[in-house]
Amino acid sequence: MPTLQRSPLPVLACGALRRAGAAISSSGIKIPTFRSGSVLAIFFAAAFAWSAPAAWAGEASAGAAPAKVEAKPDPLKVAARAATSGAPTSGPATAQEVRLAGDDQRTRLVVDLSRPVEFRAFTLANPTRVIVDLTDVTFAFRADNRDLRRGLVSAYRFGVFAPGKARMVLDASDPVLVDKAFVLPAQDDQPARLVVELVKTDADTFARSVATAAELAPPPAADSTPAAPDDRRPVVVIDPGHGGLDSGTTGYSAFTEKTIVLDVALALRDKLERTGRYRVVLTRSTDVFVPLGERVRIARNNRAALFVSIHADALAQGDGQARGASVYTLSDQASDADAAHLAEKENKADAIAGIDSSDESSQVADILFDLAQRETKSFSMLFAKTLVGTMKTAARLHKSPIKSAGFRVLKAHDVPSVLVELGYMSSPEDLKHMTSGAWRDKMADAMQTAINDFFASRVAGAAPAAVPQ
Beta bridge partners of 172: 153
Q: What is the pLDDT of residue 65?
A: 39
Instruction: Specify the 3-state DSSP secondary structure of 423.
Output: strand
* C-alpha span between 266 and 36 (Å, rounded): 83
Higher pLDDT, 320 or 145: 145
Give 306-327 as a DSSP string: EEEEEEEE---TTS----SEEE
Instruction: Specify the 3-state DSSP secondary structure of 356.
Output: coil
Residue 176: what residue type? V
Examine the pLDDT at 13 and tell me if it is beyond 70. no
β 325-330/417-424 pair status? antiparallel
> Would 79-214 and 235-459 be classified into the same CATH topology?
no
High-pLDDT (> 90) share of the chain, %: 47
Examine the pLDDT at 12 and tell me if it is beyond 60. no
Instruction: Catalogue the E-assigned strands of 26-116.
Output: 93-102, 106-113
Mean pLDDT of 415-433: 93
Examine the pLDDT at 66 and tell me if it is beyond 70. no
Q: Lowest mean pLDDT of 17-21, 106-110, 175-179, 448-452, name the range.
A: 17-21
Q: Lowest mean pLDDT of 36-50, 306-320, 445-459, name the range.
A: 36-50
Q: What is the pLDDT of residue 435?
A: 92
Instruction: Specify the 3-state DSSP secondary structure of 410.
Output: helix
* C-alpha span between 404 and 332 (Å, rounded): 9
Higher pLDDT, 370 or 112: 112
* Average pLDDT of the residues of the chain: 77
Mean pLDDT of 203-224: 65
Beta bridge partners of 328: 403, 419
Query: Which CATH number applies to 79-214?
Result: 2.60.40.3500
Instruction: Please name the residues in contact with 85: beta carbons below 8 A apart, sequence gap of 6 or more.
Output: none
**Over the stretch 357-395, which tens digit does the pLDDT of each residue have?**
555 544 444 544 444 557 788 999 999 999 999 999 999
* C-alpha span between 171 and 211 (Å, rounded): 18
C-alpha closest to that of 342 among 314, 384, 310, 377: 314
**445 burial via Cβ count (<10 Å: 0-12, 13-18, 19+):** middle
Q: pLDDT band for position 319 (50/70/90)?
A: low
Instruction: Specify the 3-state DSSP secondary structure of 294.
Output: helix
| CATH number assigned to the domain with residue range 235-459, chosen from the 4 options 3.40.630.40, 1.10.460.10, 3.10.150.10, 3.30.450.40 | 3.40.630.40
Higher pLDDT, 345 or 72: 345
Q: Give, as one character, the DSSP assignment of residue 34.
A: B
* C-alpha span between 274 and 150 (Å, rounded): 52
Backbone angles phi, psi at 58, to 5 degrees: -65, -25
If one counts every other C-beta atom within 10 angstroms of the C-beta of residue 148, the result is 15
Instruction: Please name the residues in contact with 293: beta carbons below 8 A apart, sequence gap of 6 or more.
Output: 219, 350, 357, 360, 361, 364, 408
Q: pLDDT band for position 305 (50/70/90)?
A: very high
* C-alpha span between 146 and 441 (Å, rounded): 32
* Domain ranges for the chain: 9-60, 79-214, 235-459
**28 burial via Cβ count (<10 Å: 0-12, 13-18, 19+):** exposed
Q: What is the pLDDT of residue 281?
A: 97
Q: How many helices (H) and strands (E) does the chain have?
A: 12, 15
**Over the stretch 173-196, which tens digit does the pLDDT of each residue have?**
899 999 999 999 999 999 999 999
Most confident of 17-21, 52-56, 197-201: 197-201
* C-alpha span between 111 and 184 (Å, rounded): 10
C-alpha closest to that of 354 among 117, 152, 162: 162
Rounded to two decimals, the pTM is 0.68
Q: What is the pLDDT of residue 91?
A: 80
Residue 229: what residue type? P
**Over the stretch 67-84, which tens digit does the pLDDT of each residue have?**
333 344 433 233 323 333
Q: What is the pLDDT of residue 60?
A: 33
CA count, 13 A, side-chain hemisphere, 194: 25
* C-alpha span between 435 and 167 (Å, rounded): 27
Examine the pLDDT at 277 and tell me if it is beyond 90. yes
285, 160 Cβ separation under 8 angstroms: no
Instruction: Specify the 3-state DSSP secondary structure of 190.
Output: strand
- Residue 274 zone, left/alpha/beta (φ > 0; ψ -120 to 50; rest): alpha
Q: pLDDT band for position 205 (50/70/90)?
A: very high
Q: What is the pLDDT of residue 211?
A: 57
Q: How far is CA 131 from the centre of its chain?
A: 13
Instruction: Please name the residues in contact with 149: beta carbons below 8 A apart, sequence gap of 6 or more.
Output: 100, 155, 156
* C-alpha span between 118 and 135 (Å, rounded): 6
Mean pLDDT of 325-337: 90
Residues 300, 304, 305, 306: is their CA dihedral positive or negative? negative
Mean pLDDT of 133-147: 84
Beta bridge partners of 402: 327
Q: pLDDT band for position 221 (50/70/90)?
A: very low
Beta bridge partners of 130: 123, 170
**127 burial via Cβ count (<10 Å: 0-12, 13-18, 19+):** exposed
Mean pLDDT of 402-419: 91
